[in-house]
Amino acid sequence: MEEIIQQLEKEVKELFHTESSGHDIYHLKRVLNNALTIQEKEGGNRLIIAVSAFLHDIHRIIQKESGKFCSPRDSLPKVKKILDKTSLAEEQKWKVLHCIEFHEEYDFSDNGKTVNDIETLILQDADNLDAIWAIGIGRTFSFGGANGLNMWIPEKSFDRSTFDESEKDPSTIHHFYSKLLKLKENMNTKTAKKMVVERHKFMELFLQEFFDEWNGKK
């Protein structure tokens, strides 16, 4: 497994070298680590999970280059080309493509979750764990800045009842409410449900501090 990840690292480094909005190679490495930690407790195919974690966000690069919304499904031809350079069997490659295609499903979006295989569920959890806690908060502001969002616009209402990744939030703080605070209930595995508790509390504390400062209560 280490050999394949090393081989992929070269490809991914090249692809992600200009990415600075929160989906950089360090995000991929953290998701890989989260995924392996969860896999140790929950089972599933470790190699499929590791490879999927490392290649899961190539659509973000395609989106950045094209300037148009891009879903994980749109990245599959590019991912397949990379996988074809490895020694993985065809069946393993298709499994990786499946995990990547469905890793951005949320209970709180219109379509909900459609998959129930352990590898995809672990990838979803691992990716979502990196969206919260200190680094997740940092990534959220980085992403907002890179996409031209204000930090916070109090006059704009929170009118998004369901989540759609292709829709922009009015400000970065709005994103906490449309997505990040909902991730706690969205975790799939027992292990991630435990890991998310402290992260979620930290995010609530951060928001409390943010609004106290904003409103001059500090």
Chain contacts with Fe ion (rule: CB under 5 A):
57, 127
From the CB of 70, what's the least distance to Fe ion, in Å?
A: 11
Separation CA 57–CA 200 (nearest Å):
23
Nearer to Fe ion, 134 or 205 (CB): 134
Nearer to Fe ion, 80 or 91 (CB): 80
Phi, psi (degrees; rounded to nearest 5) at 163: -95, 135
Nearer to Fe ion, 101 or 127 (CB): 127
What residues contact 71, with CB distance under 8 A and at least 6 apart?
Answer: 59, 104, 165, 166
From the CB of 85, what's the least distance to Fe ion, in Å?
A: 22
From the CB of 57, what's the least distance to Fe ion, in Å?
A: 4
**In the chain, alpha helices (H):** 2-16, 25-42, 46-55, 58-66, 76-84, 90-101, 118-129, 133-146, 172-178, 183-186, 190-214
Nearer to Fe ion, 57 or 105 (CB): 57
From the CB of 145, what's the least distance to Fe ion, in Å?
A: 18
Helix (H, G, I), strand (E, B) or coil at 56: coil
